[in-house]
Structure 1
Amino acid sequence: MNETKLVVEKPTKQVLEEYSKISIRYKVESVYKLQYIRSGLGGIMLVEEPVKPQFKDYDSNDDNPSLLINQFDLTNWAVISAFEGEKRVGGAILAYNTKGVNMLQDRDDLVVVWDIRVNNEYRGMGIGTKLFQECIEWAKENDCTRLKVETQNNNVVACKFYASQDAKLSNINKFVYADVPDEVQFIWSIDID
């Protein structure tokens, strides 16, 4: 196996189309359930519970990264791509300083990891960690004070990954997804030094 090379790219139509060929599909075998302590006054405990295994594919919705170019001004965005030789095996899309991106809160010192994915054959090899660390470096280079990333309570593997990268669970939003009411939005954050 070749060494993984990371390349920062502009989010052109071609780059996003190539990026979108990497599957984001994952297997759901457990979810985090919210347990309120004293109606939330004592905190919220996340309890991992097994579920009947099923697959989730964000790209099966209207969320495919190749469509971003039609939805936002991507001038300030970046794509960090991971290559093994000539093969694109992973990547991350960074949203920065863009009107209409709610998670950016109309601020120019935040960056959002809009999407991060690694080809199924290459998962568990440290590529996701390399990509995420490069996202943090990009944020530093662009004078950002915080990096944010969204996931859901049914992506336990991603939650554990972000926690392993020293991200902190900063927001739990239970009623965000009207079309999938059992899913809870988790926002993870890293303060940039």
Structure 2
Amino acid sequence: MTIVLNNLTAAHADDVEAIDGSFHIKSRLLLSSSQNIVDFTVVPAEPRVKRYEHDNPDDLASYIGAETKLAIIAYNNQRPAGLLLVSENWNGYAIVDSIKVDISHRKAGIGRMLLDAAMEWARLRNLSGIMLETQDNNVDACLFYQRYGFILRGFDTGIYSAIPATHDETALFWYLLF
């Protein structure tokens, strides 16, 4: 297994499209909050697969060569395997705008390598840490972020409520402080 990370260029557009960021839902996080501490337990959920739309080429293009953004594509044995999009957020953190690892390349260390790159980029920019948002039904990702050192600091039960496909999802906000 050979994993290579490359800065995203326009030449990678077809490779980005080939990355399948879907995931299997079989559980979700049951959240609780007390005295500024957010906690969770994992509970069963109706099994299904969640798929995302393809990345907008115009959005991707805004990352290429941008001073305040980072875009990396990962390859595993020369096959597109992951994508990371990071930018400087208004609050002094780096924000992971998108991170995905192809469903057939998970558990190979690619997610960790992508977050390592985000952390290095954020530290070089003297940012306070990294933040990201995911959903309560992406349990594997949540547990990965927790193992990496992120802390669940907040959630929003209404952010997806107007979107029929995601109306029952809760947004989770994770922080890695430097």
- TM category, shorter: 0.7 to 0.9
Pick closer, same or farther for the CA change 1:73–1:91 going to 2, 3 Å: closer
TM-score (norm 2): 0.84
Q: What is the number of residues matched between the two proteins? A: 173
Change (3 A) 1:45 1:170: closer
Relative to structure 1, the CA distance from residue 21 to residue 166 in structure 2 (aligned partners, 3 Å threshold; closer, same or farther) is same
CA distance in 1, matches of 2:168, 2:129: 28
1:173 maps to 156
TM-score (norm 1): 0.78
Distance in 2 between residues matched to 1:92 and 1:26, nearest whole Å: 17
CA distance in 2, matches of 1:135, 1:90: 13
**Which of residues 129, 138, 141 in structure 1 aligns to 2:121?**
138
The answer on 1:129 being equivalent to 2:129 is no
Matched-pair contact (CA < 8 Å) for 1:82–1:88:
yes
Task: Pick closer, same or farther for the CA change 1:87–1:187 going to 2, 3 Å.
Answer: same
Q: Aligned partners of 1:168, 1:53: CA distance in 2, in Å? A: 26
Which of 11, 23, 26 is the aligned partner of 1:26?
23
Opposite residue 43 of structure 2, the aligned amino acid is E
CA displacement at 1:43 relative to structure 2: 6.1
* C-alpha displacement of 1:131: 1.2
1: CA distance, partners of 2:107 / 2:168: 28
User: What percentage of aligned pairs have identical amino acids?
Assistant: 23
SS of the residue aligned with 1:176?
coil
From 31, 52, 55, the counterpart of 2:49:
55
Report the CA distance shift for 1:138/1:110 in structure 2 as closer, same or farther (over 3 A).
same
User: What is the aligned-residue RMSD (CA, Å)?
Assistant: 2.4
**Where do 5+ consecutive residues of structure 2 fail to align?**
none
For the structure 1 residues 50 and 143, does the alpha-carbon distance in structure 2 shift closer, same or farther, using more than 3 Å as the test? same
Moved segments of 4+, more than 4 Å: 40-45
The question of whether the paired residues in 1 share the 8 Å contact of 2:63 and 2:85 is answered with no
CA contact under 8 A between 1:17 and 1:65: conserved in structure 2?
no
What SS class does the counterpart of residue 18 from structure 1 fall into? helix
> In the TM superposition, what is the alpha-carbon distance from 1:52 to its structure 2 partner?
2.0
Paired residue for 1:83? 75
Structure 2 counterparts to residues 77-116 of structure 1, below 5 A: 77-96=69-88, 104=89, 106-107=90-91, 109-116=92-99
How far residue 134 of structure 1 moved from its aligned partner, in angstroms, is 1.4
1:115 shift after superposition: 1.0
One-letter amino acid of the structure 1 residue matched with residue 17 of structure 2? S
Q: CA offset at residue 33 of structure 1?
A: 2.3
Unaligned stretches of 5+ residues in structure 1: 97-103
Distance 1:67 1:26, change over 3 A: farther
